[in-house]
Chains A and B, each alone.
Chain A
């Protein structure tokens, strides 16, 4: 099933198309080999304002890769961050035009946050003005304090501000959203997006929360292991997430997973088209493989616009027949492609992969695979089998909408 997905997205073609488009604009081109502590090869091309996410289990070497790109540890190869083609790999960290927000940032504790911002601004030849972001990141009230008096999340947001002041064409983000509460996470996402739009910088991020990856990134790099050397493979974010989650699943089963992730929260990303806003009902309607599909009203999507819909496996159910008299507004016909039992971290249940039936030929190329999480009890009662047609049922608020891609 995985191969089918990868083939559908046709990785190689889309990558080469991108490369041609980007030559003119500010483009980040990286091709590096890192040898310690984990031997890995990473190559990527990022358009301006594009965000890539590195998806791999803990300990796979994501942070070492970012460190190497920023110049804190050795790497060989080539890093170019703008169209002038200035080679960054030979430069020491302080001369690279790469900004980096580390996982647990170290701020200068002898200065107030305001003094720190001033110091770093004074250091840059053309510093990016971040005053607009201070309030958004809820830092106005703590500018007179020192780093030690700030919470971890606040420190991370200050580090984000400092990295933005540098105004470099490449921004590296290591788990920036992890320590933030819900509101601040969205504020950070908004600030990062606005920053990338204003500066045309590209970003590479590491994060473990797949929702966060979806909110910011439009390309994914997934770590593939072929014996001697690990290499990062580029793919669209939906396919990347799918592959990464399958890697996690495989590691649940062979026991190599250190306790990361939950099988029941397996995310599926499907491609749909916005049809219309049903404002009076509080819904937005989409076409998903020619089938009707509803989310709660999302004013930011325009009719005709392609969107990614994100669903958690445990928010979708199975039904053998359509259920006309129910509150499940989404009832999509699908075919089961595989079923597997998962016992992991106190979770026990069945993860069922399905492929949406296409009722519209124009959408036939869309490869919309989903995963459904049901309990052992439901599985025993319903006895779903491979190749059988089933209805996927969900409520409108089970869908979250990404209009980014």
Chain B
């Protein structure tokens, strides 16, 4: 593996970790709120959150580029007052990944929160748990499988991202060139051996993530609903 490929691998892992962590921090309270909310704006928020699933990444990247271009508007203001430049930078591809992977984190969490029995909050309150303790000691442990799914899916999905990063990040080795872009570069320059390596690496990774995810979910369902005797017998 060449130095640029190694750099791309490290960058990709960094991007995926930061994105996943930030997404969890945002989505846990967000999904919790939305699952319990009966507000009229709920369907709109749900649609917005789901949109990245169907929107071509290039469309999203295009709007990013226009919005954050440092020549005018918001991009200009961000650069002049806060010193942030989003286009062709790590923070740019980080923001794009956040939005691109949002539904993969948000949806499992929201459905997990919605599947909790409505009375769970009341039951916890009756046993003396304050709303904060309810969340920490009852709700979060109860949705642990969904947290795991959300984290793995968004991590894996960020690693596989291509279009949006290409649009807003360009393809700068060491700065914004992630694995999928590096693979694209190798193919463009007809270096099929290097391309093969990267492709195989990513295929193996994706396979093991999905496999682990399914295995773990089956495992936790197993423990939950079947007694030990049945398992042994």
Contact = CB atoms under 8 A, between A and B. Distances in A.
B122 A166 contact: no
B125 A148 contact: no
Interface string A145-180: 110110000000000001101100000000000000
Nearest to A97: B128
Given A72-B122, A106-B123, A94 B129 contact: yes
B137 A119 contact: yes
A95 B129 CA distance: 8
Given A94-B130, A99-B126, 5 more contacts: A106-B117, A109-B224, A148-B224, A149-B227, A162-B127
Most central of B127, B141, B142 by chain A CB within 10 Å? B127
Interface string B128-172: 111101100110011010000000000000000000000000000
A144 interface: yes
A107 B123 contact: yes
A119 B125 CA distance: 13
Contacts of B223: 146
Contacts of B127: 94, 120, 123, 162-163, 165-166
27 contacts: A70-B126, A71-B125, A72-B126, A92-B125, A94-B126, A94-B127, A94-B131, A102-B119, A102-B126, A106-B119, A107-B123, A109-B224, A110-B141, A110-B144, A110-B224, A119-B137, A120-B127, A123-B137, A144-B228, A145-B227, A145-B228, A146-B223, A146-B224, A149-B226, A162-B127, A165-B127, A166-B127
Given A109-B224, A119-B137, A100 B126 contact: yes
Interface in A66-102: 70-72, 92-95, 99-100, 102
Given A146-B224, A148-B224, A148-B225, A102 B123 contact: yes
B126 A124 contact: no
A72 B125 contact: yes
Nearest to B220: A110
A112 to B, nearest CB: 10
A225 to B, nearest CB: 29
A105 interface: yes
B120 interface: yes
Interface residues of B, number: 26
A111 B228 CA distance: 14
Contact of A108 (B130, B133, B138, B144): B138
A289 B1 CA distance: 103
A94 B122 CA distance: 9
Contacts of A95: 128, 130
Nearest to B118: A106
A93 B134 CA distance: 12
A397 B224 CA distance: 47
Nearest to A165: B127
Interface of B: 117, 119-120, 122-131, 133-134, 137-138, 141-142, 144, 223-228
Contacts of A146: 223-224
A94 B130 CA distance: 6
Contact of B142 (A93, A108, A148, A165): A108
- Ranked 10 nearest A-B pairs via Cβ: A106-B119, A93-B125, A106-B123, A94-B125, A110-B142, A106-B117, A100-B126, A120-B127, A94-B130, A149-B227
B140 to A, nearest CB: 10
A108 B143 CA distance: 11
Nearest to B223: A146
Nearest to A123: B128
A163 B120 CA distance: 15
Contacts of B144: 110
Contacts of A148: 224-225
Contacts of B228: 144-145
A129 to B, nearest CB: 16
A144 B231 CA distance: 14
Interface core residue of B126, B133, B142, B228 (most chain A CB under 10 Å): B126
A72 B120 CA distance: 12
B139 to A, nearest CB: 10
Interface string A121-149: 00110000000000000000000111011
A106 B125 contact: no
Contacts of B129: 94, 123
A71 B142 CA distance: 24
B205 to A, nearest CB: 30
A234 B224 CA distance: 46
A120 B124 CA distance: 9
Nearest to B141: A110
A99 B127 CA distance: 7
B123 A105 contact: yes
A148 to B, nearest CB: 6
Nearest to B227: A149
A224 to B, nearest CB: 29
Nearest to B142: A110
A145 B229 CA distance: 10
A108 B120 CA distance: 7
